């Protein structure tokens, strides 16, 4: 464990989720006091027991609440002296967002404004916001930098873009705010211990957990959504970023909240595109056997290529990903092997009483 300076208390919303749980480990490892709120809508309380086991430290408190519930949120801020918030809590399935747009706007946008209002009432003005490359829409090919115009093509992406605009306006009007907005490309993989990984409820929407479940035998084959894209092998290209690199960027962001007020926006990605078939091949190598797949129709709302130009964050903070697709698949496979049924059946950490 390495010490941090100065010690501070960070509220992590969605702290039991895929990226949130890995972020908790990273923050605990660096001496932060971590408070978690989560509604477990796409996660389980068991995750936090694993977080504490890896970090060798306890999470300060865990509250089960809906991020839109200002009364419950306010009680958390009353009880803890929060210095900064890392806000992950949101719905994230692109397909689900096209079927349930109102729910997505309510949770993702309404959740963010509820959080902001509560922060404001408690004099907390430092936020790291979880945004998404999906706001760029169909802007490829070629690496996209932060100046690429936002053209969201689905309600999930639109909800993230609306939040970014709200946060930019708040920072513009209220000089006490510092907001660091991180636009992730495709976070994937798992903690190298194999204790923590991606365990979505139901059928995975995302490629990497789906491939992992095929590899372990829970599903028959991968459905490759479209092989007629204008890419070298015809399948869609994404920029897969190891979740540990992703959360390291958040820890570095916390250090840079002190750089001064205002909103700053950075892409987080590797800067290298991998096709769906590249992922299938890399995972086959990681697990030592071929992953069966079949080509299916394109998924509505998908785009051909999304690859990051992440040079701005490297210049500003010196953050660069250090893991590649092979590392990402190896760690995702280790988690899947050690947890063939995800977190089901593992020990549950009790919530803190509100
Ligand atoms: C999307 C968002 C991204 C968000 C992520 C969170 C877009 C453009 N990107 O990523 O910002 O962070 O969701 O969930 O909206 N695929 C298959 N078979 C599968 C699953 C996926 O072929 O079973 C393909 C998809 O068509 C896509 C690629 O794999 O081309 C990656 O898909 P996925 O993992 O779902 O991520 P995105 O849709 O890129």
- Residue 182's alpha-carbon distances to 66, 125, 342, in angstroms, are 22, 17, 27
**156 catalytic, yes or no?**
yes
Check if 238 has its Cβ closer than 6 Å to any atom of ligand 1.
yes
Residue 346 placed within a domain? no
Tally of structural domains, the chain? 1
**What's the CA-to-centroid distance between 241 and ligand 1, angstroms?**
13
pLDDT at 38 over 50: yes
The answer to the question of residue 233 being in a domain is: yes
- Regarding beta strands 222-225 and 84-87, do their DSSP bridges make them parallel or antiparallel, or are they unpaired? unpaired
Q: How far is the CA of 239 from the centre of ligand 1 (A)?
A: 10
pLDDT, tens digit, for every residue of 294-346? 999 998 878 899 999 999 999 999 999 999 999 999 999 999 999 998 888 67
Which atom in ligand 1 lies closest to the alpha carbon of residue 208? 34
Decide: 206 in ligand 1 pocket, CB within 6 A: yes
Q: Ligand 1: which atom is nearest the Cα of residue 298?
A: 26
Ligand 1 within 6 A of CB of 94: yes
**What secondary structure does DSSP assign to 271-327, as a single string?**
S--EEHHHHHHHHHHHHTSPPPEEEEPPPTT--SB--B--HHHHHHH-------HHH
Whether residue 286 is contained in a domain is answered as yes
- Supply 349's token pair: 């950490």
Residue 1 lies in a domain: no
Q: Give the single-character DSSP code of 49.
A: H
In a domain, 265, yes or no: yes
* Averaged pLDDT, 95-114: 94
Atom from ligand 1 closest to the CA of residue 93: 14
**DSSP assignment, residue 209?**
H
| DSSP string for residues in 68-135 | T-HHHHHHHHHHS---EEEE--S---HHHHHH-HHHHIIIIIIHHHHHHHHHHHTT--EEEEEEEGGG
* Ligand 1 within 6 A of CB of 293: no
Q: Which residues contact 244 (CB under 8 A, 6 or more apart)?
A: 22, 26, 189, 191, 192, 323, 331
Residue 349 lies in a domain: no
Output the domain CATH number for residue 90.
Answer: 3.40.50.720
pLDDT tens sequence across 228-260: 999 999 999 999 999 999 999 999 999 999 999
Catalytic residue among 156, 210, 229, 266: 156
Predicted TM-score of the model (pTM): 0.95
* Domain contains 351: no
**Which has more confidence, 274 or 351?**
274
Residue 208, domain extent: 9-338
Question: Does a structural domain hold residue 264?
Answer: yes
pLDDT of residue 98: 87
- Give the model's pLDDT for residue 141: 84
């Amino acid at each position: 464990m390495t010490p941090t300076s100065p010690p501070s208390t960070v509220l992590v919303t969605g702290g039991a989720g895929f990226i949130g749980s890995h972020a908790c480990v990273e923050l605990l490892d660096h001496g932060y006091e971590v408070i978690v709120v989560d509604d477990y809508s796409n996660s389980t309380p068991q995750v936090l027991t694993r977080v504490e086991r890896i970090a060798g430290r306890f999470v300060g408190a865990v509250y089960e609440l809906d991020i839109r519930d200002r009364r419950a949120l306010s009680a958390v801020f009353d009880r803890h002296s929060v210095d900064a918030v890392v806000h992950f809590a949101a719905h994230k399935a692109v397909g689900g967002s096209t079927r349930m747009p109102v729910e997505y706007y309510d949770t993702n946008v309404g959740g963010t404004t509820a959080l902001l209002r509560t922060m404001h009432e408690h004099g907390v003005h430092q936020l790291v916001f979880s945004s998404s490359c999906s706001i760029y829409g169909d802007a490829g090919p070629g690496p996209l930098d932060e100046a690429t115009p936002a053209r969201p093509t689905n309600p999930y992406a639109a909800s993230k873009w609306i939040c970014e605009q709200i946060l930019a306006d708040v920072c513009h009007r209220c000089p006490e705010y510092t907001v660091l907005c991180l636009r992730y490309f495709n976070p994937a993989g798992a903690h190298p211990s194999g204790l923590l990984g991606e365990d979505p409820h139901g059928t995975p929407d995302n490629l990497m957990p789906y491939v992992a479940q095929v590899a372990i035998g829970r599903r028959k084959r991968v459905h490759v959504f479209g092989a007629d894209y204008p890419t070298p092998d015809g399948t869609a290209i994404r920029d897969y970023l190891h979740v540990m690199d992703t959360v390291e960027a958040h820890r570095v962001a916390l250090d840079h909240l002190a750089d001064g007020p205002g909103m700053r926006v950075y892409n987080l990605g590797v800067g290298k595109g991998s096709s769906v078939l590249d992922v299938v091949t890399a995972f086959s190598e990681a697990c030592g056997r071929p992953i069966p797949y079949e080509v299916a129709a394109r998924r509505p709302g998908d785009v051909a290529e999304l690859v990051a130009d992440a040079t701005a964050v490297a210049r500003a903070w010196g953050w660069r990903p250090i893991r590649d697709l092979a590392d990402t698949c190896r760690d995702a496979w280790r988690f899947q092997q050690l947890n063939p049924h995800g977190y089901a059946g593992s020990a549950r950490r009790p919530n803190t009483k509100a």
